[in-house]
Amino acid sequence: MNFQTILALNLMALSALALALGLIQRREGTRSIALVNALVLAVGAYGLWRAPQEAGWLVALVFLPLVATPMALGALQSRYTRAGRLETAARCADLAAFFHPTAGMRLAAAYARAAAIDDPRERARAFAALAADAPPEQAAAIETRLLAERGDWEKALALAQNPENARQLAGYRFRALGETGRIEELMRDYARSADSTPLEQTAFSWLFVLAFGGRPRAVEELATKIMHFDPDTTAYWIAVAERHAGVAEPARATFERLALSLKETPSAIAARRQLAIDWTPHAPLSPRAQEIVEGVAARVASESARQARGWRLPAATLVFILVNSVMFVAEVAMGGSQDVSTLIRLGALWAPLVFSGETWRILTASFLHYGPLHFGLNMMMLALIGREIEYETGALRTLALYFGATLVSSLVVLAVMIIGAGYGLYVGASGAIFGLFGAVAALRIRDWLKHRASLDAFRATTLGVAMLVQIGADFLLPMSSLSAHLSGFGFGLLMGFFIRQKRTLGA
Protein backbone atom coordinates (compact mmCIF):
# COMPACT_ATOMS: atom_id res chain seq x y z
CA MET A 1 0.00 0.00 0.00
CA ASN A 2 1.52 3.33 -1.10
CA PHE A 3 1.58 6.78 0.45
CA GLN A 4 -1.42 7.98 -1.57
CA THR A 5 -3.60 5.18 -0.22
CA ILE A 6 -2.46 5.81 3.36
CA LEU A 7 -3.18 9.54 3.04
CA ALA A 8 -6.60 8.98 1.48
CA LEU A 9 -7.67 6.43 4.10
CA ASN A 10 -6.60 8.60 7.02
CA LEU A 11 -8.33 11.74 5.75
CA MET A 12 -11.46 9.72 4.98
CA ALA A 13 -11.34 8.31 8.51
CA LEU A 14 -11.29 11.82 9.98
CA SER A 15 -14.35 12.74 7.92
CA ALA A 16 -16.05 9.54 9.02
CA LEU A 17 -15.29 10.51 12.63
CA ALA A 18 -16.91 13.91 12.13
CA LEU A 19 -19.99 12.28 10.64
CA ALA A 20 -20.23 9.74 13.46
CA LEU A 21 -19.83 12.41 16.11
CA GLY A 22 -22.58 14.46 14.49
CA LEU A 23 -24.91 11.46 14.68
CA ILE A 24 -24.07 10.82 18.34
CA GLN A 25 -24.49 14.48 19.28
CA ARG A 26 -27.74 14.69 17.26
CA ARG A 27 -26.97 18.25 16.31
CA GLU A 28 -29.34 20.37 14.29
CA GLY A 29 -28.19 22.79 11.62
CA THR A 30 -25.06 20.85 10.64
CA ARG A 31 -26.33 19.50 7.35
CA SER A 32 -23.70 21.37 5.33
CA ILE A 33 -20.87 19.97 7.47
CA ALA A 34 -22.25 16.46 7.04
CA LEU A 35 -22.47 16.97 3.28
CA VAL A 36 -18.87 18.18 3.08
CA ASN A 37 -17.62 15.16 5.02
CA ALA A 38 -19.73 12.88 2.84
CA LEU A 39 -18.11 14.56 -0.19
CA VAL A 40 -14.68 13.73 1.22
CA LEU A 41 -15.68 10.07 1.55
CA ALA A 42 -17.14 10.01 -1.95
CA VAL A 43 -14.06 11.62 -3.52
CA GLY A 44 -11.84 9.23 -1.58
CA ALA A 45 -13.78 6.17 -2.70
CA TYR A 46 -13.74 7.33 -6.31
CA GLY A 47 -10.03 8.15 -6.16
CA LEU A 48 -9.09 4.78 -4.67
CA TRP A 49 -11.14 3.07 -7.36
CA ARG A 50 -10.27 5.09 -10.47
CA ALA A 51 -7.03 6.93 -9.66
CA PRO A 52 -5.24 5.22 -6.75
CA GLN A 53 -1.91 6.91 -7.54
CA GLU A 54 -3.47 10.35 -6.95
CA ALA A 55 -6.17 9.41 -4.42
CA GLY A 56 -4.44 11.06 -1.45
CA TRP A 57 -4.04 14.40 -3.20
CA LEU A 58 -7.62 14.31 -4.44
CA VAL A 59 -8.97 13.77 -0.92
CA ALA A 60 -6.64 16.40 0.54
CA LEU A 61 -7.84 18.91 -2.07
CA VAL A 62 -11.35 18.62 -0.63
CA PHE A 63 -10.54 17.89 3.01
CA LEU A 64 -8.04 20.65 3.80
CA PRO A 65 -10.02 23.75 2.71
CA LEU A 66 -13.54 22.49 3.43
CA VAL A 67 -13.05 20.44 6.61
CA ALA A 68 -9.66 20.89 8.30
CA THR A 69 -9.32 24.67 7.96
CA PRO A 70 -12.83 25.54 9.25
CA MET A 71 -12.42 23.05 12.12
CA ALA A 72 -9.05 24.52 13.13
CA LEU A 73 -10.40 28.05 12.91
CA GLY A 74 -13.44 27.05 14.97
CA ALA A 75 -11.20 25.62 17.68
CA LEU A 76 -9.13 28.81 17.72
CA GLN A 77 -12.28 30.91 17.87
CA SER A 78 -13.50 29.01 20.94
CA ARG A 79 -10.14 29.34 22.66
CA TYR A 80 -9.88 33.08 21.96
CA THR A 81 -13.47 33.61 23.11
CA ARG A 82 -12.81 31.94 26.46
CA ALA A 83 -9.61 33.96 26.81
CA GLY A 84 -11.55 37.20 26.31
CA ARG A 85 -9.90 38.00 22.95
CA LEU A 86 -13.20 38.55 21.20
CA GLU A 87 -11.94 40.56 18.22
CA THR A 88 -9.43 37.84 17.35
CA ALA A 89 -12.17 35.24 17.78
CA ALA A 90 -14.37 37.21 15.36
CA ARG A 91 -11.59 37.24 12.76
CA CYS A 92 -11.27 33.46 13.07
CA ALA A 93 -15.03 33.13 12.55
CA ASP A 94 -14.86 35.34 9.44
CA LEU A 95 -12.08 33.19 7.98
CA ALA A 96 -14.01 29.99 8.75
CA ALA A 97 -17.03 31.41 6.92
CA PHE A 98 -14.78 32.25 3.95
CA PHE A 99 -13.62 28.63 3.64
CA HIS A 100 -17.07 27.19 4.42
CA PRO A 101 -19.49 29.82 3.06
CA THR A 102 -22.77 28.38 4.29
CA ALA A 103 -25.62 30.27 5.94
CA GLY A 104 -24.80 28.73 9.31
CA MET A 105 -21.13 29.72 9.17
CA ARG A 106 -21.98 33.26 8.05
CA LEU A 107 -24.42 33.56 10.96
CA ALA A 108 -21.75 32.28 13.36
CA ALA A 109 -19.32 34.90 12.04
CA ALA A 110 -21.91 37.67 12.48
CA TYR A 111 -22.59 36.40 16.02
CA ALA A 112 -18.86 36.54 16.85
CA ARG A 113 -18.61 40.09 15.48
CA ALA A 114 -21.60 41.14 17.61
CA ALA A 115 -20.06 39.55 20.72
CA ALA A 116 -16.85 41.57 20.14
CA ILE A 117 -18.66 44.93 20.41
CA ASP A 118 -17.58 46.67 23.62
CA ASP A 119 -20.63 48.87 24.22
CA PRO A 120 -23.38 46.77 25.88
CA ARG A 121 -26.22 48.68 24.18
CA GLU A 122 -24.65 48.41 20.74
CA ARG A 123 -23.96 44.74 21.37
CA ALA A 124 -27.57 44.12 22.40
CA ARG A 125 -28.84 45.87 19.25
CA ALA A 126 -26.54 43.79 17.08
CA PHE A 127 -27.75 40.56 18.71
CA ALA A 128 -31.39 41.64 18.38
CA ALA A 129 -30.91 42.28 14.66
CA LEU A 130 -29.31 38.86 14.26
CA ALA A 131 -32.14 37.14 16.15
CA ALA A 132 -34.74 38.77 13.90
CA ASP A 133 -33.24 37.21 10.76
CA ALA A 134 -31.94 33.91 12.19
CA PRO A 135 -33.63 30.50 11.90
CA PRO A 136 -35.76 29.58 14.96
CA GLU A 137 -33.10 27.46 16.67
CA GLN A 138 -30.34 30.07 16.38
CA ALA A 139 -32.80 32.85 17.21
CA ALA A 140 -33.65 31.11 20.50
CA ALA A 141 -29.95 30.89 21.41
CA ILE A 142 -29.40 34.59 20.65
CA GLU A 143 -32.51 35.63 22.57
CA THR A 144 -31.36 33.58 25.55
CA ARG A 145 -27.98 35.28 25.48
CA LEU A 146 -29.68 38.70 25.40
CA LEU A 147 -31.76 37.76 28.43
CA ALA A 148 -28.65 36.47 30.22
CA GLU A 149 -26.73 39.69 29.51
CA ARG A 150 -29.63 41.68 30.99
CA GLY A 151 -29.66 39.40 34.03
CA ASP A 152 -33.21 38.25 33.35
CA TRP A 153 -32.54 34.66 34.35
CA GLU A 154 -36.19 33.67 34.92
CA LYS A 155 -37.08 34.39 31.29
CA ALA A 156 -33.82 32.83 30.11
CA LEU A 157 -34.69 29.70 32.09
CA ALA A 158 -38.18 29.53 30.60
CA LEU A 159 -36.74 29.76 27.09
CA ALA A 160 -33.99 27.21 27.80
CA GLN A 161 -36.49 24.75 29.31
CA ASN A 162 -38.63 24.76 26.20
CA PRO A 163 -38.40 21.17 24.89
CA GLU A 164 -37.50 22.48 21.42
CA ASN A 165 -34.48 24.30 22.85
CA ALA A 166 -33.58 22.07 25.81
CA ARG A 167 -30.59 20.36 24.24
CA GLN A 168 -28.88 23.23 22.47
CA LEU A 169 -29.44 25.59 25.42
CA ALA A 170 -28.34 23.13 28.11
CA GLY A 171 -25.54 25.40 29.32
CA TYR A 172 -27.83 28.41 29.66
CA ARG A 173 -30.37 26.21 31.47
CA PHE A 174 -27.84 25.00 34.02
CA ARG A 175 -26.60 28.51 34.70
CA ALA A 176 -30.12 29.95 34.93
CA LEU A 177 -31.04 27.32 37.50
CA GLY A 178 -28.02 28.29 39.56
CA GLU A 179 -28.59 32.04 39.19
CA THR A 180 -32.19 31.69 40.34
CA GLY A 181 -31.25 29.64 43.40
CA ARG A 182 -32.57 26.29 42.18
CA ILE A 183 -29.35 24.47 43.06
CA GLU A 184 -30.89 21.06 43.74
CA GLU A 185 -32.76 21.21 40.44
CA LEU A 186 -29.53 22.17 38.68
CA MET A 187 -27.78 19.08 40.02
CA ARG A 188 -30.66 16.78 39.04
CA ASP A 189 -30.89 18.33 35.59
CA TYR A 190 -27.15 17.96 35.03
CA ALA A 191 -27.19 14.28 36.01
CA ARG A 192 -30.25 13.62 33.87
CA SER A 193 -28.88 15.43 30.81
CA ALA A 194 -25.27 14.19 30.82
CA ASP A 195 -25.74 11.98 27.77
CA SER A 196 -27.45 14.68 25.70
CA THR A 197 -25.46 17.79 26.64
CA PRO A 198 -23.57 18.91 23.49
CA LEU A 199 -19.88 18.14 23.65
CA GLU A 200 -18.87 21.81 23.35
CA GLN A 201 -21.03 22.66 26.39
CA THR A 202 -19.66 19.90 28.63
CA ALA A 203 -16.98 22.03 30.31
CA PHE A 204 -19.48 24.85 30.89
CA SER A 205 -21.88 22.41 32.53
CA TRP A 206 -19.06 21.33 34.85
CA LEU A 207 -18.37 24.99 35.63
CA PHE A 208 -21.93 25.72 36.69
CA VAL A 209 -22.22 22.56 38.81
CA LEU A 210 -18.96 23.35 40.61
CA ALA A 211 -19.54 27.09 41.02
CA PHE A 212 -23.09 26.85 42.32
CA GLY A 213 -22.10 23.73 44.26
CA GLY A 214 -19.48 25.74 46.18
CA ARG A 215 -16.18 24.21 44.97
CA PRO A 216 -13.79 27.17 44.37
CA ARG A 217 -10.61 25.08 44.02
CA ALA A 218 -12.18 22.83 41.41
CA VAL A 219 -13.53 25.90 39.59
CA GLU A 220 -10.02 27.40 39.52
CA GLU A 221 -8.58 24.18 38.09
CA LEU A 222 -11.29 24.00 35.44
CA ALA A 223 -11.06 27.67 34.48
CA THR A 224 -7.26 27.85 34.25
CA LYS A 225 -6.18 24.40 33.07
CA ILE A 226 -9.07 23.22 30.88
CA MET A 227 -11.15 26.19 29.75
CA HIS A 228 -8.31 28.77 29.76
CA PHE A 229 -10.49 31.71 30.78
CA ASP A 230 -9.15 35.24 31.01
CA PRO A 231 -8.14 36.31 34.57
CA ASP A 232 -11.29 38.35 35.28
CA THR A 233 -13.67 35.57 34.19
CA THR A 234 -11.68 33.07 36.25
CA ALA A 235 -11.80 35.34 39.30
CA TYR A 236 -15.54 35.90 38.86
CA TRP A 237 -16.42 32.20 38.85
CA ILE A 238 -14.10 31.43 41.77
CA ALA A 239 -15.92 34.14 43.71
CA VAL A 240 -19.30 32.63 42.79
CA ALA A 241 -18.07 29.29 44.12
CA GLU A 242 -16.75 30.94 47.29
CA ARG A 243 -20.08 32.64 47.87
CA HIS A 244 -21.97 29.35 47.56
CA ALA A 245 -19.39 27.69 49.80
CA GLY A 246 -20.21 30.25 52.49
CA VAL A 247 -16.90 32.12 52.18
CA ALA A 248 -18.53 35.50 51.76
CA GLU A 249 -15.76 38.03 52.44
CA PRO A 250 -13.24 36.92 49.75
CA ALA A 251 -16.11 36.57 47.27
CA ARG A 252 -17.41 40.07 48.01
CA ALA A 253 -13.92 41.55 47.71
CA THR A 254 -13.48 39.96 44.29
CA PHE A 255 -16.86 41.17 43.06
CA GLU A 256 -16.08 44.69 44.27
CA ARG A 257 -12.75 44.70 42.44
CA LEU A 258 -14.31 43.45 39.21
CA ALA A 259 -17.20 45.93 39.50
CA LEU A 260 -14.74 48.86 39.42
CA SER A 261 -13.54 47.95 35.92
CA LEU A 262 -13.65 50.87 33.49
CA LYS A 263 -14.63 48.53 30.67
CA GLU A 264 -18.13 47.11 30.55
CA THR A 265 -16.94 43.51 30.42
CA PRO A 266 -19.31 40.62 31.12
CA SER A 267 -17.39 39.92 34.35
CA ALA A 268 -17.76 43.52 35.56
CA ILE A 269 -21.49 43.61 34.77
CA ALA A 270 -22.10 40.23 36.41
CA ALA A 271 -20.06 41.24 39.48
CA ARG A 272 -22.24 44.33 40.01
CA ARG A 273 -25.34 42.15 39.83
CA GLN A 274 -23.84 39.78 42.40
CA LEU A 275 -23.28 42.69 44.80
CA ALA A 276 -26.89 43.83 44.38
CA ILE A 277 -28.61 40.53 45.20
CA ASP A 278 -29.50 38.96 48.54
CA TRP A 279 -26.61 36.99 50.05
CA THR A 280 -28.71 34.90 52.39
CA PRO A 281 -26.94 31.52 52.69
CA HIS A 282 -28.46 28.70 50.68
CA ALA A 283 -29.66 25.49 52.29
CA PRO A 284 -27.01 22.74 52.45
CA LEU A 285 -26.90 20.44 49.44
CA SER A 286 -28.63 17.09 49.70
CA PRO A 287 -26.43 13.98 49.79
CA ARG A 288 -27.31 13.23 46.16
CA ALA A 289 -26.40 16.77 45.05
CA GLN A 290 -23.12 16.56 46.98
CA GLU A 291 -22.37 13.27 45.24
CA ILE A 292 -22.93 14.89 41.84
CA VAL A 293 -20.66 17.82 42.70
CA GLU A 294 -17.94 15.48 43.98
CA GLY A 295 -18.20 13.44 40.79
CA VAL A 296 -17.77 16.51 38.60
CA ALA A 297 -14.82 17.70 40.70
CA ALA A 298 -13.13 14.31 40.26
CA ARG A 299 -13.80 14.41 36.54
CA VAL A 300 -12.26 17.87 36.26
CA ALA A 301 -9.17 16.69 38.16
CA SER A 302 -8.83 13.76 35.77
CA GLU A 303 -9.26 15.91 32.65
CA SER A 304 -6.77 18.43 34.02
CA ALA A 305 -4.21 15.66 34.49
CA ARG A 306 -4.96 14.36 30.99
CA GLN A 307 -4.26 17.76 29.45
CA ALA A 308 -1.20 18.39 31.61
CA ARG A 309 0.61 15.33 30.29
CA GLY A 310 0.48 16.70 26.73
CA TRP A 311 2.01 14.48 24.07
CA ARG A 312 4.77 13.03 26.21
CA LEU A 313 5.25 9.30 25.76
CA PRO A 314 5.39 7.29 29.01
CA ALA A 315 8.21 4.83 29.68
CA ALA A 316 6.82 1.48 28.51
CA THR A 317 5.30 2.90 25.31
CA LEU A 318 8.55 4.68 24.49
CA VAL A 319 10.52 1.47 25.05
CA PHE A 320 8.22 -0.48 22.72
CA ILE A 321 8.64 2.13 19.99
CA LEU A 322 12.43 2.21 20.44
CA VAL A 323 12.73 -1.59 20.28
CA ASN A 324 10.56 -1.72 17.15
CA SER A 325 12.65 1.08 15.62
CA VAL A 326 15.94 -0.68 16.38
CA MET A 327 14.61 -3.88 14.79
CA PHE A 328 13.43 -1.98 11.70
CA VAL A 329 16.89 -0.43 11.29
CA ALA A 330 18.35 -3.94 11.60
CA GLU A 331 15.97 -5.17 8.86
CA VAL A 332 17.13 -2.42 6.50
CA ALA A 333 20.81 -2.97 7.33
CA MET A 334 20.68 -6.77 6.91
CA GLY A 335 18.99 -6.90 3.52
CA GLY A 336 15.78 -4.87 3.49
CA SER A 337 12.54 -4.68 5.42
CA GLN A 338 10.69 -6.44 2.60
CA ASP A 339 13.24 -9.21 2.14
CA VAL A 340 11.73 -12.50 3.30
CA SER A 341 15.03 -14.16 4.21
CA THR A 342 16.02 -11.14 6.33
CA LEU A 343 12.73 -11.22 8.19
CA ILE A 344 13.09 -14.95 8.85
CA ARG A 345 16.64 -14.49 10.17
CA LEU A 346 15.47 -11.76 12.54
CA GLY A 347 12.57 -13.76 13.98
CA ALA A 348 9.49 -13.63 11.73
CA LEU A 349 6.71 -16.08 12.58
CA TRP A 350 6.96 -19.01 10.16
CA ALA A 351 5.12 -22.13 11.29
CA PRO A 352 7.64 -24.82 10.20
CA LEU A 353 10.41 -23.15 12.24
CA VAL A 354 8.13 -22.66 15.24
CA PHE A 355 7.14 -26.35 15.16
CA SER A 356 10.79 -27.33 14.91
CA GLY A 357 11.50 -25.68 18.24
CA GLU A 358 11.97 -21.95 17.55
CA THR A 359 9.00 -20.95 19.71
CA TRP A 360 10.58 -17.58 20.52
CA ARG A 361 9.33 -16.41 17.12
CA ILE A 362 5.84 -16.14 18.66
CA LEU A 363 7.10 -13.00 20.43
CA THR A 364 9.88 -11.69 18.18
CA ALA A 365 7.62 -11.46 15.10
CA SER A 366 5.74 -8.61 16.74
CA PHE A 367 8.85 -6.40 16.63
CA LEU A 368 9.35 -6.77 12.87
CA HIS A 369 7.56 -4.94 10.05
CA TYR A 370 7.17 -5.36 6.33
CA GLY A 371 8.22 -2.06 4.76
CA PRO A 372 8.34 1.53 6.02
CA LEU A 373 4.60 2.20 5.68
CA HIS A 374 3.73 -0.85 7.78
CA PHE A 375 6.26 0.23 10.40
CA GLY A 376 5.25 3.91 10.39
CA LEU A 377 1.52 3.28 10.69
CA ASN A 378 1.94 0.77 13.50
CA MET A 379 4.27 3.05 15.46
CA MET A 380 1.87 5.98 15.08
CA MET A 381 -0.99 3.90 16.42
CA LEU A 382 1.20 2.47 19.20
CA ALA A 383 2.17 5.99 20.29
CA LEU A 384 -1.45 7.15 20.35
CA ILE A 385 -3.02 4.17 22.07
CA GLY A 386 -0.02 3.13 24.18
CA ARG A 387 0.23 6.47 25.96
CA GLU A 388 -3.52 6.36 26.68
CA ILE A 389 -3.51 2.94 28.29
CA GLU A 390 -0.22 3.44 30.14
CA TYR A 391 -1.23 6.74 31.72
CA GLU A 392 -4.45 5.14 32.93
CA THR A 393 -3.21 1.74 34.07
CA GLY A 394 0.54 2.09 34.60
CA ALA A 395 3.66 0.66 32.93
CA LEU A 396 3.49 -2.87 34.37
CA ARG A 397 -0.10 -3.46 33.26
CA THR A 398 0.73 -2.03 29.84
CA LEU A 399 3.65 -4.44 29.51
CA ALA A 400 1.39 -7.34 30.52
CA LEU A 401 -1.30 -6.30 28.03
CA TYR A 402 1.21 -5.85 25.20
CA PHE A 403 2.96 -9.19 25.62
CA GLY A 404 -0.27 -11.03 26.49
CA ALA A 405 -1.93 -9.78 23.30
CA THR A 406 1.22 -10.64 21.33
CA LEU A 407 1.21 -14.21 22.66
CA VAL A 408 -2.52 -14.76 22.11
CA SER A 409 -2.58 -13.27 18.61
CA SER A 410 0.50 -15.20 17.46
CA LEU A 411 -0.94 -18.48 18.76
CA VAL A 412 -4.22 -17.77 16.97
CA VAL A 413 -2.31 -17.07 13.74
CA LEU A 414 -0.53 -20.41 14.10
CA ALA A 415 -3.84 -22.17 14.75
CA VAL A 416 -5.36 -20.62 11.61
CA MET A 417 -2.36 -21.77 9.60
CA ILE A 418 -2.75 -25.32 10.92
CA ILE A 419 -6.49 -25.39 10.24
CA GLY A 420 -5.94 -24.67 6.60
CA ALA A 421 -4.87 -21.14 5.76
CA GLY A 422 -1.38 -22.32 4.81
CA TYR A 423 2.04 -21.62 6.24
CA GLY A 424 2.51 -17.92 5.53
CA LEU A 425 5.02 -15.52 7.02
CA TYR A 426 3.72 -13.22 9.74
CA VAL A 427 5.29 -10.02 11.15
CA GLY A 428 4.00 -6.87 12.81
CA ALA A 429 2.90 -5.36 16.12
CA SER A 430 -0.76 -5.31 15.08
CA GLY A 431 -1.84 -8.06 17.46
CA ALA A 432 -0.26 -6.25 20.41
CA ILE A 433 -1.62 -2.86 19.33
CA PHE A 434 -5.10 -4.29 18.96
CA GLY A 435 -4.74 -5.73 22.44
CA LEU A 436 -4.12 -2.20 23.72
CA PHE A 437 -7.05 -0.99 21.60
CA GLY A 438 -9.27 -3.59 23.20
CA ALA A 439 -8.21 -2.59 26.72
CA VAL A 440 -8.87 1.10 26.05
CA ALA A 441 -12.22 0.20 24.47
CA ALA A 442 -13.17 -1.61 27.66
CA LEU A 443 -12.13 1.39 29.75
CA ARG A 444 -14.20 3.73 27.56
CA ILE A 445 -17.20 1.41 27.87
CA ARG A 446 -16.72 1.44 31.64
CA ASP A 447 -16.62 5.25 31.53
CA TRP A 448 -19.82 5.33 29.51
CA LEU A 449 -21.61 2.96 31.86
CA LYS A 450 -20.48 5.11 34.78
CA HIS A 451 -21.13 8.62 33.47
CA ARG A 452 -23.42 8.25 30.43
CA ALA A 453 -21.84 11.46 29.15
CA SER A 454 -21.44 12.79 25.62
CA LEU A 455 -17.69 13.21 26.25
CA ASP A 456 -17.34 9.45 26.73
CA ALA A 457 -19.40 8.81 23.60
CA PHE A 458 -17.05 11.09 21.65
CA ARG A 459 -13.98 9.26 22.90
CA ALA A 460 -15.51 5.88 22.13
CA THR A 461 -16.29 7.06 18.61
CA THR A 462 -12.75 8.35 18.14
CA LEU A 463 -11.37 5.02 19.27
CA GLY A 464 -13.71 3.10 16.97
CA VAL A 465 -12.69 5.07 13.90
CA ALA A 466 -9.00 4.71 14.80
CA MET A 467 -9.53 0.96 14.96
CA LEU A 468 -11.17 1.00 11.53
CA VAL A 469 -8.19 2.89 10.15
CA GLN A 470 -5.85 0.28 11.59
CA ILE A 471 -7.90 -2.62 10.22
CA GLY A 472 -8.46 -0.99 6.83
CA ALA A 473 -4.83 -0.06 6.33
CA ASP A 474 -2.89 -2.81 8.08
CA PHE A 475 -5.04 -5.64 6.72
CA LEU A 476 -4.20 -4.57 3.16
CA LEU A 477 -0.50 -5.06 3.83
CA PRO A 478 1.29 -8.31 3.05
CA MET A 479 2.10 -10.53 6.01
CA SER A 480 -0.58 -9.05 8.27
CA SER A 481 -3.43 -11.09 9.67
CA LEU A 482 -7.05 -10.29 10.46
CA SER A 483 -7.08 -13.18 12.89
CA ALA A 484 -4.24 -11.51 14.81
CA HIS A 485 -6.15 -8.22 14.89
CA LEU A 486 -9.36 -9.76 16.17
CA SER A 487 -7.75 -12.10 18.68
CA GLY A 488 -5.52 -9.35 20.07
CA PHE A 489 -8.49 -7.02 20.39
CA GLY A 490 -10.59 -9.70 22.07
CA PHE A 491 -7.85 -10.41 24.61
CA GLY A 492 -7.43 -6.71 25.41
CA LEU A 493 -11.17 -6.12 25.62
CA LEU A 494 -11.59 -8.96 28.11
CA MET A 495 -8.65 -7.84 30.23
CA GLY A 496 -9.78 -4.21 30.12
CA PHE A 497 -13.00 -5.00 31.94
CA PHE A 498 -11.03 -6.35 34.91
CA ILE A 499 -7.87 -4.26 34.92
CA ARG A 500 -7.50 -1.69 37.69
CA GLN A 501 -7.01 1.90 36.62
CA LYS A 502 -4.16 3.94 38.06
CA ARG A 503 -6.25 7.13 37.93
CA THR A 504 -9.96 7.35 38.59
CA LEU A 505 -11.74 9.11 35.73
CA GLY A 506 -14.25 10.88 37.90
CA ALA A 507 -16.72 9.55 40.40
Give pLDDT tens digits for 447-495.
888 877 778 877 777 777 767 765 665 555 555 577 888 899 999 999 9
Give the C-alpha separation, 27 to 198, whole Å.
Answer: 8
268 occurs within a structural domain = yes
Give the C-alpha separation, 38 to 33, whole Å.
Answer: 9
277 occurs within a structural domain = yes
Q: Count the domains in the chain.
A: 2
Q: Are residues 359 and 279 in the same domain?
A: no
pLDDT higher than threshold 90 for residue 177: yes
Q: Are residues 350 and 477 in the same domain?
A: yes
Q: Are 110 and 131 in contact (CB under 8 A)?
A: no
Q: What is the CA radius of gyration of the chain?
A: 27
Give the C-alpha separation, 276 to 469, whole Å.
Answer: 57
DSSP for 73-120, written as a single string: HHHHHHHHHHTT-HHHHHHHHHHHHHHS--HHHHHHHHHHHHHT-SSH
203 occurs within a structural domain = yes
For range 107-114, the mean pLDDT: 93
- Catalytic residue from among 369, 374, 451, 485: 485
Q: Are residues 254 and 344 in the same domain?
A: no
Q: Are residues 351 and 432 in the same domain?
A: yes
- Catalytic residue from among 15, 205, 430, 487: 430
Residue 334 domain boundaries: 310-496
Q: Are residues 300 and 330 in the same domain?
A: no
Q: Are residues 459 and 314 in the same domain?
A: yes
Res 200: pLDDT:
84
* pLDDT tens per residue across span 380-420: 889 989 998 999 899 999 999 999 999 999 999 888 888 87
Q: Are residues 330 and 449 in the same domain?
A: yes
Neighbouring CB atoms inside 10 A of 252's CB total 17
Check if 282 is active-site: no
Among the residue ranges 163-167, 259-263, 266-270, 306-310, the one predicted with the least confidence is: 306-310
85 occurs within a structural domain = no
Q: Which of 272, 292, 308 is at the close of a domain?
A: 308
Check if 485 is active-site: yes
